[in-house]
Structure formats: structure tokens, C-alpha cells
């Protein structure tokens, strides 16, 4: 299914948590399905760290299917025959929305001059987009992983903008372990001599080696030990015996190298730095005086939180923490832990039980 690809330059500077604002910010987005006359059937989908607006359309760089094509479309759990679906590329990213690779007022890419952003800044951009589209209240906001952070931020800071909030495999704060993994990735990028302090856009050689290592390290956190063992075990890659060298002897090594190399074809290294930093800064309780329940005080939205038993990046305990805060705030909330072997990536893969939860909550 092909969505309608659009870009919008925001009419006003976008205020930022770090101080100052981002002038002439651009939001790139896709829409699917028709908007009702009363504009009440819109669903906002929020993408994860390395995602983009191509939720159900072929990716323009890789040609691969949209990242949630199995979930979004006519007759699917998020039914585009009934709902108007909007998915926007977050600011700081690299698929059309304003980010480090965008051209600044001096005609050169921002690079590291781009302001450091937060999850709430990303959501400010999404809310500004909704304002321009004249959509006051969403039927639902839906997100997995970093997208779930955006959904929670929208619910906490703009509580009147969404009637339903669906948060999958996510958290209200980044843990020390998650920050540590992200710092490993950032240091891999910045240690690449081709990074050039972020000023590599006009260079022939890009910081692909560092970005590939960052992706490899992150990808391990998206999987479970069970999934890795079942898929690869200790199987050798295209050889009968160990090489006693440092080629990719094992299938799992070859797989990670493939993932890293492919990622560099579609993602910007500086955007990786900025978005991981935004995730590390995310702490919804801290934003609201230190008590998470206060973030949701007085909310009228209905919430649904979903976790996976094999997800060790954002384990079930993180979702329960949010559910307890919602209960304390008197919010209407349902919660389910689903069994799936795929780890954190379960929300993107074939888990029929998730389809039923999404369809039931949305409809």
C-alpha cells in the first residue's frame, strides 16, 4: 500500500527543551486512509529510533516494505478503510524532517550545530503538524519503543489531543543500562575518523564503519537470547571449519555485519547521535516534579500498555511501572504481557496476539 508523502514547514519556530527554538522546521509525513468530515478518525503512529514515516509504504531508499505493513492497511488491525493514519518522521531524523543533515540558513548542513532535542521536542513537532492539519483530537496515538515514549509524552503534556493511547514495548524513562548501550554506539560513530566532528556531508568517505558498529551493538539489544540461539546457534557461515582468523566464522557474526552495513545506506550518523541522546534524556516523572502519576493527573484518555516476556531492553517491569502510575492518577488503563520469542523487536514481527490487542483497543 502506498501512502501519500508530504512535507510541511511549520509556520512558527518550534520551542525546544534545551532553550531557544528551531526556526523553519520541516516535518515529513505520510497519510493513509480518508479523514472523516468531522476529523475524528485520525490515528497518529509514532516511529522508533531508526524508523521513519514509511509505516506501510515501500521504503524509498531500500525498497523494503513499510516497517509496520503487517499492522496498517485496509482490513488490518489499524484499518485504513476506517481510520486516517498519520506517521511523521521525527525532527532530528534524516528522512525529510529537519535534522543535522538539513540545510541551515547559511546554506550549509547543520551538522552538529543542530540543537540537541528531547522526546518532548519531537512531540511538539507532531502536535504542530496536527494543528496545521486541523486535527484537534486523535482517535488514538500509537507507538512502540521510542514511539511509545512519544505517545506517553503526548498523553502527559497534551492530554486533550488523544482519546486513546497505545504504548508497546516502551518505558517512561531510560535506564542506566540503556544509556550505556547508546553511549557505546555514539562513541563508535565519533571514533570513526570519517566522522570529522560531524562535518562529513560533503566528504567522499562517510562514517559508515562507526555507524555500522553502533547498529550492530544496538541490534543485539533488540533480540533475545532464545531468538539468536534458535536462528544461528553456533553455526558456521559458509565454511566447514573455523578459519582461526577474524573473518565472520559464525552465522551470527555475518548477520550482525549485514545489519550494520545495510543500516548505513539509509540512516545518517549524526541523526543517530541526536536521537539516541533524546531517548537518554527521556524521564517523564522528572518532567513532572519527580512523580510519574502527576504526569497523567486528570487525563481522560484510555490507555493500553503491551510488553513482551522476552524483551530485556524494555522489560515488563517498565510497563508495570507506568501502569501503576496511571492507576494512581485514576486513568482508564489495561495492560497485557505477551509471550513472544523475538525480544524487543517482537512489536515489529509476526505476533498474532499483538494484532488482536491492537485491533481490539483501536476499534
The answer to whether 131 touches 8, Cβ cutoff 8 Å, is no
- Burial of 196 by CB count in 10 Å (0-12 exposed, 13-18 middle, 19+ buried)? middle
Q: What is the DSSP letter of 212?
A: H
Whole-Å CA distances, 262 to 211, 212, 213, 284: 10, 8, 11, 33
Other Cβ atoms closer than 10 A to 311:
28
Residues 68, 245: Cα–Cα separation, whole Å: 39
SS (H, E, C) 238-299: CCCCCCCCCCCCEHHHHHHHHHHHHHHCCCCHHHHHHHHHHHHHCEHHHHCCCCHHHHCCCC
Rg (alpha carbons) of the chain, rounded to whole number: 20
Other Cβ atoms closer than 10 A to 175:
14
Catalytic residue numbers read: 145, 311, 344
Amino acid at each position: 500500500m502506498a501512502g501519500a508523502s508530504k512535507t510541511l514547514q511549520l509556520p512558527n519556530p518550534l520551542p525546544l527543551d534545551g532553550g531557544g527554538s528551531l526556526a523553519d522546521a520541516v516535518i515529513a509525513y505520510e497519510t493513509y486512509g480518508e479523514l472523516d468530515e468531522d476529523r475524528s478518525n485520525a490515528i497518529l503512529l509514532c516511529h522508533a529510533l531508526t524508523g521513519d514515516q514509511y509505516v506501510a509504504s515501500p521504503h524509498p531508499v531500500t525498497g523494503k516494505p513499510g516497517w509496520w505493513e503487517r499492522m496498517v492497511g485496509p482490513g488490518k488491525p489499524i484499518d485504513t478503510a476506517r481510520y486516517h493514519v498519520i506517521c511523521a518522521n521525527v525532527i532530528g531524523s534524516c528522512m525529510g524532517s529537519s535534522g543535522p543533515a538539513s540545510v541551515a540558513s547559511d546554506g550549509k548542513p547543520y551538522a552538529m550545530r543542530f540543537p540537541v532535542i528531547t522526546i518532548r521536542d519531537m512531540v511538539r513537532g507532531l502536535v504542530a503538524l496536527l494543528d496545521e492539519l486541523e486535527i484537534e483530537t486523535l482517535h488514538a496515538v500509537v507507538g512502540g519503543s521510542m514511539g511509545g515514549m512519544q505517545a506517553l509524552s503526548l498523553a502527559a503534556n497534551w492530554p486533550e489531543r488523544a482519546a486513546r493511547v497505545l504504548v508497546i514495548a516502551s518505558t517512561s524513562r531510560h535506564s542506566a543500562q540503556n544509556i550505556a548501550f547508546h553511549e557505546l554506539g555514539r562513541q563508535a560513530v565519533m571514533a570513526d575518523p570519517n566522522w570529522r566532528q560531524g562535518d562529513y556531508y560533503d566528504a567522499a568517505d562517510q562514517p559508515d564503519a562507526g555507524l555500522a558498529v553502533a547498529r550492530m551493538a544496538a541490534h543485539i539489544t533488540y533480540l533475545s537470547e532464545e531468538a539468536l540461539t534458535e536462528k544461528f546457534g553456533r553455526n558456521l557461515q559458509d565454511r566447514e571449519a573455523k578459519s582461526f582468523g577474524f573473518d565472520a566464522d559464525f552465522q551470527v557474526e555475518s548477520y550482525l555485519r549485514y545489519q550494520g552495513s545495510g543500516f548505513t545506506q539509509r540512516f545518517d550518523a549524526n541523526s543517530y547521535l541526536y536521537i539516541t541522546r533524546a531517548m537518554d534524556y527521556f524521564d517523564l516523572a522528572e518532567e513532572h516534579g519527580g512523580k510519574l502519576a502527576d504526569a497523567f493527573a486528570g487525563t481522560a484518555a484510555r490507555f493500553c500498555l503491551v510488553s513482551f516476556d522476552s524483551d530485556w531492553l524494555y522489560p515488563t517491569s517498565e510497563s508495570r511501572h507506568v501502569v501503576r502510575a496511571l492507576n494512581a492518577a485514576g486513568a482508564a488503563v489495561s495492560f497485557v504481557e505477551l509471550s513472544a520469542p523475538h525480544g524487543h523487536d517482537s512489536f515489529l514481527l509476526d505476533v498474532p496476539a499483538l494484532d488482536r490487542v491492537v485491533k481490539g483497543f483501536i476499534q
